[in-house]
Amino acid sequence: MNTELSWTGETMSYRCKDGLLELSLHRNPCNEIGSVSLNELESFADALQVLKQPAHALIISSDLKAGFCAGADLRELYERSQTMQKEDAAKGVRKFLERIHRALNSIDAAPLTTIAAVHGVTFGGGFELALACDLIIADKTARFCFPELRLGLIPGFGGIPRLKRDVGNAVVRDLLLTGRSFNTTKAQQIGLVSQVVSEGEALRAARATAAQIAKFDRQTSAAAKQFIKPIPHEELRREIDIFCDLFSRPAVQAGLKKFVESKDAQPYLP
Amino acid sequence: MQTADKTLDEILNLAATHFKVSRAKLSPDDDFFKALGIDSLQTLDLLTKLENHFHVELPDYELQGVTDFRTLAGKIQSRL
């Protein structure tokens, strides 16, 4: 298939050419996921239902130097929650999470091989987006982190169940319960990252990997993926419930407020 | 194990090279946020560079409140 299909949104764009689908994130400062990003990710997930026919592989990467994605847009989350009654804010958060779970589940289950080509900050929701992919290829600048507990929350975009699917429980606990970040070397040691490449080379390596994948029978690759990578639906649903229970606590609102209002070079994180 | 002075010197060299700041303008007790003109995202970049250079792990929480090169060197030295 030589036809080129492309689309450009405010926060991301995609292009499908010669069987390779590439989704590029480009929302400054570091691809924070807010309502516009979610709308566009949903549009991409819908388009994926059509694009999975001509495409054999999907690469997700970032056009921004700062990194792959810094996670949820906490500023928008906090500011929106302040304009609503507590119950409405809780409902809004649940709806947001359910929508992003649907979009990430679509990427997770897509019958083509998916690769996250990451660099720099790959935190929170950005890490969760990478975890929805089949392979993570990282350059040496990448850092992975679930900082949510530092604000009184847990990851809400499917991070814990998907990380647990990929690595040992002790590693999940380390990342989750300390809120510390890992570099690429550590991420590869624990089995999270499949390839480590030089700075700025992740996308090139992902394209080379996609070219190798293109040699295989597509139906066989899809069957292998479906067999080895089940979606942990029950745990994903449970994660939404826990996140929503925690979100409505005053301590979380106070933590978000401090974080959002911080003007320090090191923003507030306990 | 290398000396603390050598660790500090290597940090200053690495920071100057990576952030394109004159090495002569950096002192051990400088606030590196100000001296390098970096924000929180660039600080993570520096952290990664330091971990890769010294082959150590530096948990983020150990660096909270650390703002000068000398204290940073001490944190790294304790993990060499």
Is A167 within 8 Å of A191 (Cβ atoms)? Answer: yes
Q: What is the largest CA-CA distance in chain A?
A: 54
Residues A170-194, mean pLDDT to the nearest whole number:
95
Is A47 within 8 Å of A14 (Cβ atoms)? Answer: yes
Residue B79 at interface with chain A, using a CB cutoff of 8 Å = no
B2: left (phi over 0), alpha (psi -120 to 50) or beta: beta
Is A147 within 8 Å of A214 (Cβ atoms)? Answer: no
pLDDT at A150: 86
DSSP E strand boundaries for A169-262: 181-183, 195-197
**DSSP tally for chain A: helices H, then strands E:** 11, 11
Whether the upstream peptide bond of residue A29 has omega within 30° of 0, thus cis, is yes
pLDDT at A269: 61
Q: Write out the two tokens for B22.
A: 């004159």
Residue A181 at interface with chain B, using a CB cutoff of 8 Å = yes
Q: Residues of B with CB below 8 A from A141's CB?
A: 45, 48
Cα B75 versus chain centre, distance: 9
- Number of structural domains, chain B? 1
For chain A, domains (ranges, CATH) are: 5-261 (3.90.226.10)
Global pTM value: 0.93
Which CATH number covers residue B69? 1.10.1200.10
Query: Which residues, 6+ apart, have CB-to-CB distance to A94 below 8 Å?
Result: A240, A244
Which pLDDT band holds residue A244 (cuts at 50, 70, 90)? Answer: very high
Q: Residue written as tokens 């070219």?
A: A211
Q: Find which of A178, A183, A262 to mutate to test the B interface (most B CBs within 10 Å of its CB).
A: A183
Look over chain A and give the mean of its residue pLDDT values, rounded to a whole number: 92
Alpha carbon of B58: minimum distance to chain A alpha carbons (Å): 9
Check A70 against B40: CB less than 8 A apart.
no
Check A266 against B41: CB less than 8 A apart.
no
Q: Residues of B with CB below 8 A from A184's CB?
A: 48
Q: Which tens digit of pLDDT belongs to each residue from B8-18? A: 999 999 999 99
Q: Which tens digit of pLDDT belongs to each residue from A131-150? A: 999 999 999 999 999 999 98
pLDDT at A1: 45
Question: Which pLDDT tens digits describe chain B residue by residue (80 residues)?
Answer: 789 899 999 999 999 999 999 999 999 999 999 999 988 888 889 999 999 999 999 998 888 889 999 999 999 999 99
Q: Which residues constitute the domain of residue B36?
A: 4-77
Residue of A121, A178, A180 with shortest CB distance to B41? A121
Q: What is the ipTM of this complex?
A: 0.84
Is A150 within 8 Å of A131 (Cβ atoms)? Answer: no
